[in-house]
Amino acid sequence: MNRITNAFILVLLFPLMILSIFISFDLPLGIFKSSGAQLPYGSEIILGFTILIAILFINRSVKRWMALHTVSKKNQFAFNTLLSAERKKRVIAYGWLESLVYCFIGMALAVLTLKALPPAILFIFFGIEGLVFVLLGSRRFAIGLSSKAIIVADREVSVIYYTGLRKVSIGQQTLYFDYLQSLQLSFPMDAVPVEQRSTFLTYLERMVDPNKVLIQNLGSWRK
């Protein structure tokens, strides 16, 4: 989820940043027979990009906090454990880096032009929100396995449902879940602590139909 959201945000950020640069330096816009500072509806265009980016930020933030809240209800899961220490350290490092980048983007937009103040505030706000999420949420980053789905809650929210599932396998340090119609979901295998992998596999085998789901090359997790 997080990678996809970041990709869409970057796609929207690119024209927003270019437009802000043109407005800041009043560069000519031949196609519009105008210049950046005199571009008609320049503020409205920036506001439009801001709203689209805000929707992406809000959607990700809500899903992150909801997943963290859900997985913390241990009584709702047959298996529930905190992320491995290795995975947790990497998530915290990436979370801090991501948040700082967003804060720098916000400051850069604010410096370029006052017309870009709305997206600047947006990036800085969610940069800070990301830092708060890492600081407060890192103690609760966890993976839960219930009768309906597997939830991995950290900066990447992964929800793996059993409906339509056909194969579970390991490859390149990743746990893959293959479904009908070539759909594939995954999460890093180091999300599950080494000492909990045997228990995780045992509960997973109980939850899925062995006649429909092939559990492949996870034999090392039984040790």
Task: Please tell me the predicted confidence (pLDDT) of residue 89.
Answer: 93
User: What count of other Cβ atoms lies within 10 Å of the Cβ of residue 144?
Assistant: 21
Q: Which two tokens stand for residue 121?
A: 């505030």
HSE-CB of 22 using CA atoms within 13 angstroms: 19
Give just the sign of the alpha carbon dihedral 190, 191, 195, 198.
negative
Task: Please tell me the predicted confidence (pLDDT) of residue 1.
Answer: 64
Q: Where are the domains of the chain?
A: 2-140, 151-222
pLDDT in tens, 111-158: 999 999 999 999 999 999 999 999 999 999 999 999 999 999 998 899
Nearest to 79, CA basis, from 221, 179, 216: 221
Q: Which two tokens stand for residue 116?
A: 């870009």
d(CA 133, CA 172): 28
Nearest to 153, CA basis, from 161, 141, 165, 163: 141
Q: For residue 184, name the pLDDT band (cuts at 50, 70, 90).
A: very high
Give just the sign of the alpha carbon dihedral 24, 26, 30, 34.
positive
d(CA 49, CA 222): 50
Q: Which two tokens stand for residue 124?
A: 């800085």
- In contact, 43 and 20? CB cutoff 8 Å: no
pLDDT in tens, 14-32: 999 999 988 887 777 766 6
pLDDT in tens, 58-103: 999 999 999 999 999 999 999 999 999 999 999 999 999 999 999 9
Judge whether residue 34 has pLDDT over 80. Answer: no
142 has which bridge partners? 82, 153
